[in-house]
């Protein structure tokens, strides 16, 4: 990928989606793993929708958007007051669309449930598909194991230093500040109360803002999580991972926000959780090429006034031809025959109960 893309991290989510849709080397083995389970999940979801539609319709009309004060225990009447004949406008200005408030509330409750049903059916194979997507993307770059395993190369002259008094998690990883209240906000019961019994009654548009806030709060941890296979392949320890992410804090925030946001879309977000692994692998590849430029002394460690917003400086003020230097790196490693297919290097296996933005578990390189 062009070096300039390193300075627009969210675009790697689109790169991942594009490669998943257009590259048969990745698409076929990945989607074949979840195809049959997805069909079963969609059939069950369709039957659930048909069987529960009238019940939900009664519940919504009487408890969420109804006008009976004795039954209406969850909502204020703001959403009804702002509606015309039961129709509300969702969106901003010219980009708003009219929709029946009962139907809108029904879909807002039902779609996440359908997503959970589909996830239940493809859960096991989805983990494999995600790991396979990352591994196949790495393999498609045609680089040997030596390219990925050179270790951590410092790119700053004055790198951040972790506080010795900082708290650690159960894996020995340093916790970032102000994470406890974020964990509380992201807890699913809190999300349920906020979205369905606070935001929705006050305004039909407020629940649409919740994914934006949620994605921002979990952005940096999402970006770091999606790059865990990359850190493992480099053999980075916990302090090096902390330093690496801290130096590129806003790059990981931007990428993690975009990845978390598209994964929050009901149903198709499960598909995006696969493409995000591909985007993360493509970003890792570009970052590793840059690491080799520092390792070879082609780029000198950045001074504090050079690091820039994303912690990687600017393409046009490093005093070298980045494209030409990267081509030399590609040529150097492409001349070697990759051993990824012969001894298992670059193949990833799932460890843990699950993978995804809001799941536990890690990807381990064999």
Between the alpha carbon of residue 316 and those of residues 7, 13, 309, 313, the distances in Å are 12, 24, 15, 9
pLDDT tens for 40-58 read 999 999 999 999 999 988 8
**For residues 39 and 118, what is the distance between their CA atoms, to the nearest angstrom?**
9
Strands (E) located in the chain: 87-90, 97-100, 348-351, 362-365
* pLDDT tens-digit readout, 244-274: 999 999 999 999 999 999 999 999 999 999 9
User: CB neighbours of 135 closer than 8 A, spacing ≥ 6?
Assistant: 346, 347, 348
Q: State the pLDDT at residue 348.
A: 43
CA distance 261 to 268: 12
Helix (H, G, I), strand (E, B) or coil at 339: coil
- DSSP-derived 3-state class of residue 90: strand
Can you give the pLDDT at residue 203? 53
Neighbours of 204 (CB within 10 A): 22
The tens digit of pLDDT for each residue in 160-170 reads 987 665 565 55
pLDDT number for residue 84: 53
DSSP structure class, residue 168: B
The pLDDT value given to residue 235: 93
Counting Cβ atoms within 10 Å, is residue 121 exposed (0-12), middle (13-18) or buried (19+)?
buried
H helix runs in 142-267, sequence order: 145-148, 180-186, 188-194, 200-202, 206-217, 219-226, 228-234, 238-247, 249-263
Residues of the chain with pLDDT below 70 are 1-3, 65-86, 88-93, 163-208, 315-321, 335-366
pLDDT at 82: 54
**Cα–Cα distance measured from residue 242 to residue 240, given in angstroms and rounded to the nearest whole number:** 5
Is-contact 266 117, C-beta < 8 A? Answer: no
Structure tokens at 202: 């006050």
Three-class SS of residue 302?
A: strand
The SS3 call for residue 311 is: coil
Q: According to the model, what pLDDT value does residue 107 have?
A: 87
User: Residue 174 phi/psi, 5° resolution?
Assistant: -75, 130
Distance linking the first and last C-alpha atoms of the chain? 26
CA distance 302 to 20: 35
The pLDDT of residue 365 is: 36
């Amino acid at each position: 990928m062009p070096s300039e893309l390193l300075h627009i991290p969210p675009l790697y989510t689109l790169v991942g989606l594009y490669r998943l849709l257009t590259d048969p080397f990745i698409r076929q083995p990945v989607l074949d793993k979840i195809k049959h389970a997805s069909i079963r999940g969609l059939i069950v979801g369709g039957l659930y929708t048909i069987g529960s539609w009238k019940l939900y319709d009664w519940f919504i009309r009487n408890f969420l958007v109804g006008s009976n004060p004795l039954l209406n225990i969850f909502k204020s009447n703001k959403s009804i007051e702002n509606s015309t004949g039961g129709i509300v406008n969702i969106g901003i200005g010219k980009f708003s669309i009219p929709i029946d408030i009962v139907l809108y509330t029904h879909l807002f409750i039902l779609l996440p449930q359908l997503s959970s049903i589909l996830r239940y059916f493809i859960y096991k194979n989805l983990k494999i598909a995600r790991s396979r997507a990352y591994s196949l993307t790495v393999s498609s770059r045609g680089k040997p194991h030596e390219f990925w395993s050179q270790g951590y190369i410092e790119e700053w002259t004055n790198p951040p230093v972790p506080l010795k008094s900082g708290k650690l998690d159960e894996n020995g990883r340093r916790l970032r500040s102000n994470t406890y209240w974020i964990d509380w906000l992201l807890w699913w019961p809190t999300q349920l109360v906020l979205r369905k019994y606070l935001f929705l009654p006050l305004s039909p548009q407020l629940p649409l803002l919740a994914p934006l806030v949620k994605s921002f709060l979990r952005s940096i941890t999402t970006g770091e999580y999606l790059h865990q296979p990359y850190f493992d392949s480099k053999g980075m320890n916990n302090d090096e991972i902390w330093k690496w992410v801290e130096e590129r804090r806003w790059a990981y925030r931007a990428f993690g926000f975009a990845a978390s946001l598209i994964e929050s879309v009901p149903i198709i977000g499960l598909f995006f959780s696969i493409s995000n692994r591909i985007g993360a692998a493509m970003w890792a590849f570009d970052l590793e090429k840059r690491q080799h430029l520092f390792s070879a002394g082609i780029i000198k460690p950045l001074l504090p006034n050079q690091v820039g917003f994303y912690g990687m400086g600017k393409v046009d003020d490093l005093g070298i031809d980045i494209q030409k230097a990267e081509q030399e790196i590609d040529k150097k490693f492409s001349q070697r025959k990759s051993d990824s297919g012969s001894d298992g290097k670059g193949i990833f296996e799932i460890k843990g109960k699950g993978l995804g933005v809001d799941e536990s578990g890690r990807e381990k390189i064999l």
